[in-house]
Structure formats: structure tokens, C-alpha cells
Structure 1
């Protein structure tokens, strides 16, 4: 079983634990009104679905580079990103389960929840892959394949360049949730993503500079 599979399993376990904890807490507070469940086409549900997909790719890229380099600094960064985003993905999947909403909505375009009032993604355009437009910052299948073929410093540079773009796109999405999401806990998670990923982008820019490379535009 690959490390990516283990990360996916852990995300599911965390989602179930999270959903169970919330259910127990709600049952114990009989005097309070039950919280409103977001609609399937709400920003809350759309963000949870889209960011879960976005996070899964970050986990995948991070495990790829861990197998392609021996550099301790890059491997530690990749582990931190994979661990954090797998956990956050588990939380978002748990919310969808708790709300009784589907995790996938066939026929819905990515980022539809940001169509009104969500901003312009700060200039970060969505890439296009074999399956159509991707969400902001996501790598194409060809870019992922190239990352898997490189090793050493070349793999490190490719990973950093892809992940900076990926994080910037994720920040745009999270900022959209901060503006549009109505569930307090989800709004707080989105703000935490903004703060953490901006900090990691600064670190990755420095790591690129140490390797004589620049941010990809």
C-alpha cells in the first residue's frame, strides 16, 4: 500500500472521528437549536468539495517528491504539507457527511460556488487538463508525470514551483470561503489555510532561490 493510500485512509478515519464528535456534542446540548445545514449549492459545500480535491493533489505531489529526493529540508516540508492537508481534507469530508451532502456533484463546474462575490482568484488562472478546466493552482497530469520522472535537485525545483502555484490558488479559494462561507468552523479553517499557506509560500520562494531557480509564472 502506497503512502498516498495511507494518507487517504487516515483522512477518512479523521473525518469519521470528527463527525462522531460533533454528533455527540450536539446530542448533549438539547437546549440549543440545531444548526442550519448548508444547501448543496452553497459556498460552504462547494468549498468543502473543491478544496478536498485541491488538497488531495498537494498530498500526491508531496509524496512524489519525498520519493525523488534525499534532501532533508524538502522531505520535511513535503511531509508537513501532506500531513496537514490530509487532515484538513478529512475535516471537510466529515462536514459533508454531517450535513448529509454528496461529496461529488456530477455536472457541476469547479469553483461555481465562487461565481458570485468570490473574486477573480487574484490573477491565478485555472489550468486545463485532459478532463477540462482545473481549479486555481492545480497541476496538470503532464506536470505530475514530469515531477515523477525527475530526481534530486531537479525534482526539488519542480515541486517547489508547482506547489507555490498550487498554494497561491488554494489561498484564493480559502479567501473566497472566508468571504462567503456561513459555517463558523469552516470559515475559521479557511482563514487558517490562508495564513499557513502564505507562510509556506514565503519559505518555498526562499528554497527556490537557494537552488538558483525562480517562481514559475
Structure 2
């Protein structure tokens, strides 16, 4: 019996079709550009997370109550890992980690544009240098209360940024991360509010109520 003749041209065309199909399936949205919402979100959220990790280390090193220490540990691990993912995306997309663009510029024209922050010149929810100094100098219950107040505000900013991304992007991995941030940090906001109440204190006025 004669073996069937395989046309190399047809085989090549078949392979090409499969490659194109795979590309469309997995990369249908293309690689985000330097000014895209995805790139801006990754850069700004990496910076945002870095401050949260720094504050968590500050309170952890003060030997706080067990529940505060556990919370700080969770924040350090979760946000450090997520920050690594943000920077990894930028590298994968062939984009620089630093940019000349203004922080939060990726949200301009969508009801945000940096106006969401309670402190001008900072991303939403970020602590000022003065507040970070106060946290480093505080001790005991005072330090725990200040940490919780600052971190609640910080988480609110993170939720606000993630919600902004969901309005601008359909890229699966970025959307999935934004949803995870909203869910995780919203839960921690409730937990930290309860911790504050146990210490006879209240959170700062929410920056989420203005949306």
C-alpha cells in the first residue's frame, strides 16, 4: 500500500493557522502599551504596595499584639508577592518599571485622574512622609491605632485604584488581580475597623464614600 503524499505547503499552512489561532486565543488583547491602563495600574500599584509593606514591617518590629502582628505578616506576604507580579508583567510586556508619566495618569478622563487621593500629590490612600515618621516614633497602643488608621486608608486607596482598572481593562490577568485586591483588602478593612473599635478608636473618614 502506498503511503499518502503529504503536501509540505498544506502542512505549513496548517501549522500557521494553529499558531495564529493560539495567538488570538491567548494574546487577543495584544501587549499593553506604555501609556495603557494596565501598565499604569501595574506601576502605581507596585509603588502603593511597597508603602503598605513598609508600614507593616514598621509595626511588626514594635512587638504589637498578636492580632496586629498576624495582620502585618499577611500584608507583607500578600502585597510583596503581588508587587512582584506587577513588576513581572512590565518585564513581560517589554515596558520599563519607571516612567515620566504622572502618577494615576492612566485613570484620567474616567472620573479619577488622581483626584481620588485625600492628600494632593499622593496616590489614593497613601500615607504622607510625616505620617510615616509618626508611625515609626509611636509606641504601644498608640502605634497600633495609628497603623490601623493608616492601613485602612491605604487599603481604601488600593480598592479605589482596582475598581478604576476594572472600568478600563479586559485583560484577564490584570482584571483578575484587581478583583482579588478588591475582595482581599475590603475584607481586611472590616477586620482592621473592628480592631480599632476594640482599642476605643475610629478610622479616618473614608475616601470611598465620595465615589
Q: Is the pair's TM-score, using the shorter chain for normalization, greater than 0.5?
A: yes
Question: Could you say which structure has the higher strand fraction?
Answer: 1
**Matching of residue 33 in structure 1 with residue 23 in structure 2:** yes
- Describe the SS at the equivalent of 1:180: coil
Q: In structure 2, what is the equivalent of residue 86 of structure 1? A: 80
Per chain length, whose mean CA-contact separation is higher, i.e. which structure has more relative contact order (CA < 8 Å, sep 6+)?
1
Mapped partners of 2:112, 2:64: distance in 1:
40
Match in the other structure for 1:174: 162
Partner of 2:175: 187
Structure 1: which 5+ residue stretches go unaligned? 1-28
What's the RMSD between the two structures over aligned residues?
Answer: 1.7
1:151 to 139, 147, 155: 139
2:104 and 2:113 in contact (8 A); partners too: no
State the shift of 1:33 in Å. 1.1
Give runs of aligned pairs for residues 16-31 of structure 1, distance below 5 A.
30=19
Provide the aligned length of Structure 1 versus Structure 2: 183
1:123-142 matches, cutoff 5 A: 124-128=116-120, 133-142=121-130
Q: Secondary structure at the match of 2:122?
A: strand
Mark the CA change 1:118 to 1:188 in structure 2 (over 3 Å): closer, same or farther: farther
1:49 maps onto 2:37 in alignment? no
1:54-85 Cα offsets, whole Å, 9 max, x none, are 00000000000001233110000011011100
Q: Which runs of 5+ in 2 are unaligned?
A: 1-17, 206-211
User: Which residue of 101, 104, 115 corresponds with 1:111?
Assistant: 104
What is the TM-score normalised by the length of structure 1? 0.80
Q: TM-score, normalised by structure 2?
A: 0.82
What is the SS of the residue equivalent to 2:123? strand
- Measure how far apart 1:119 and its partner are: 4.1
**2:94 aligned residue (93, 100, 121):** 100
Q: Which one has the bigger helix percentage?
A: 1
Query: Out of 33, 56, 61, which is 2:55 matched to?
Result: 61
